[in-house]
Amino acid sequence: MNKRLDAIAALVQREAPGLSPEALGIFMVVAREDSMSLKMLSRELEIPQVRVMRHVAELSAWEFEGLRGAGLVRTREKGALKKEVVLSARGEALKQKIKQVVSGKP
Kindly report, residue by residue over 44-55, the tens digit of the pLDDT. 999 999 999 999
* CATH value at residue 23: 1.10.10.10
Query: What predicted TM-score, i.e. pTM, was given to this entire model?
Result: 0.86
Q: Which tens digits make up the pLDDT trace of 11-44? A: 999 999 888 999 999 999 999 998 899 999 999 9
The secondary structure of the chain in percent helix, strand, coil, rounded to multiples of 5, reads 55, 15, 30
Range of the domain at 95: 3-102
Q: CA 26 to CA 35: how far, in whole Å?
A: 11
**Count of structural domains, the chain:** 1
Q: Which tens digits make up the pLDDT trace of 7-19? A: 988 999 999 988 8
